[in-house]
């Protein structure tokens, strides 16, 4: 019986196909849902009207802050944990209720007073505190300072080193009028910064701006200014006094395998459709944390697109995120993967395939010659 031998071209195609299937066999996985918490507010510290503030955080935004450097690189390097941009939607929601900066600041204190106290080390960013729904004095102070700064208030951190305690100093347009004790403030650069104590646990009757805990009487505070507060982040929380409607975002990669120097089209659709909404595309390599790859805007149909050229070889994971708005919670896409192969490795593979193919051809030819010699043609 005559046995067919695979041609060199067919053999090369088979080998390349197997390599491609192995390298692109990383299946995209879905990602976790948003984190959401609700906080009660009064229209005034002594008021009776209640509001429920709903705050939602995407998984991608939480992971972004969780992967950042949490160390203190100088004695009072606290300002970097204050992130007004990420929490600005919360400030915007509060200003829709309050007309006065003192009431606004007290509203922020009502929020942090609802978060359970739990000693934490090292420091964390406010988005992490919201998601974890626990913290201590410094974490509460970072959160309160972030929302107050996002609302346009002049803020400092007050650090009581001997007591290992922290709270916030707030500059107001007037002396606080809602205090139940003597008004306390610290002076810095000609400004009065009224004390805002962020611990306590009782949101309805807790500390108000200008009130000072007895345990801190006579203790000096180190004033930490916030010039190094983070002014921008890749996303924001969603915040609304009404229920936040779910949103969704998809992710599509043109290929799960690319040779170094090539490109991958990253695209998807945001729903609900909204023109010019900003989508953040995140990427991480196999052994690194999530980082922002690009921010892009949606077109009139909610589509976004970005042509990505990976800088180096390796395995990469990609996902897209939308922060949400006043009516919708943010959303994360599923996670896709791309294997980027170095061009030198591809060339080495091609050389190997050629050599193997040549060996197959030589072997097939020798077998054919052997069969001819074994069965010589009759004269």
Q: How far apart are CA 171 and CA 316, in angstroms?
A: 46
pLDDT value at position 26?
Answer: 38
pLDDT value at position 359?
Answer: 67
Q: Tokens 């196909």 appear where?
A: 17
Q: How far apart are CA 356 and CA 348, in angstroms?
A: 12
pLDDT value at position 320?
Answer: 98
* Domains, the chain: 1-30+245-379 (2.60.40.730), 35-238 (3.10.620)
pLDDT value at position 17?
Answer: 42
pLDDT value at position 30?
Answer: 34
pLDDT value at position 358?
Answer: 64
What residues of the chain score a pLDDT lower than 50? 1-6, 8-33, 345-347, 379
Q: How far apart are CA 194 and CA 186, in angstroms?
A: 6
pLDDT value at position 18?
Answer: 41
Q: How far apart are CA 8 and CA 12, in angstroms?
A: 6
Among residues of the chain, what percentage have pLDDT more than 90? 74
- How, if at all, do strands 252-253 and 264-271 pair? antiparallel
- Quick: pLDDT tens for 71-89: 988 878 899 999 999 999 9
- Quick: pLDDT tens for 267-278: 999 998 876 899
pLDDT value at position 377?
Answer: 52
pTM of the model: 0.82
pLDDT value at position 27?
Answer: 36
Question: Which of 160, 142, 156, 342 lies closest to 172, judged by CA?
Answer: 156
pLDDT value at position 376?
Answer: 59
131 is written with which tokens? 């998601």
């Amino acid at each position: 019986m005559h046995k067919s031998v695979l041609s060199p071209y067919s053999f090369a195609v088979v080998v390349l196909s197997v390599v491609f299937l192995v390298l692109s066999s990383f299946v995209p996985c879905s990602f976790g849902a948003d984190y959401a918490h609700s906080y009660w507010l009064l229209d005034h510290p002594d008021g009776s009207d209640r509001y429920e503030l709903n705050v939602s955080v995407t998984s991608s935004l939480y992971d972004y802050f969780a992967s950042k450097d949490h160390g203190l690189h100088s004695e009072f390097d606290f300002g970097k944990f204050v992130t007004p941009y990420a929490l600005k939607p919360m400030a915007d929601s509060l200003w829709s209720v309050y007309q006065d900066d003192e009431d606004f600041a007290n509203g922020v204190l009502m929020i942090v007073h609802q978060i359970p106290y739990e000693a934490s080390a090292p420091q964390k960013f406010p988005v992490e505190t919201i998601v974890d729904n626990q913290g201590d004095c410094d974490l509460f102070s970072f959160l309160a300072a972030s929302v107050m700064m996002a609302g346009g208030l002049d803020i400092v951190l007050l650090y009581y080193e001997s007591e290992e305690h922290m709270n916030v100093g707030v500059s107001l347009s007037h002396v606080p009028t809602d205090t139940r004790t003597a008004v306390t403030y610290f002076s810095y650069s000609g400004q009065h910064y009224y004390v805002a104590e962020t611990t306590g646990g009782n949101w309805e009757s807790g500390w108000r701006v200008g009130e000072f805990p007895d345990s801190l009487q006579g203790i000096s505070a180190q004033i930490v200014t916030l010039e190094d507060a983070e002014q921008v982040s890749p996303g924001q929380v969603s915040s609304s006094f009404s229920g936040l409607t779910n949103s969704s975002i998809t992710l599509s990669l043109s290929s799960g395998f690319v040779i170094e120097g090539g490109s991958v089209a990253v695209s998807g659709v945001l729903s609900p459709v909204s023109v010019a909404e900003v989508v953040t595309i995140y990427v991480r390599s196999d052994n690194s944390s999530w980082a922002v790859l690009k921010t892009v805007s949606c077109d009139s149909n909610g589509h976004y697109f970005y042509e990505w050229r990976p800088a180096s070889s390796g395995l990469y994971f990609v996902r897209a995120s939308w922060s949400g708005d006043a009516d919708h919670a943010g959303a994360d896409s599923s996670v896709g993967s791309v294997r980027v192969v170095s061009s030198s490795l591809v060339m080495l593979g091609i050389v190997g395939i050629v050599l193997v193919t040549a060996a197959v051809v030589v072997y097939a030819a020798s077998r054919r010659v052997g069969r001819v010699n074994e069965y010589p043609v009759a004269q």
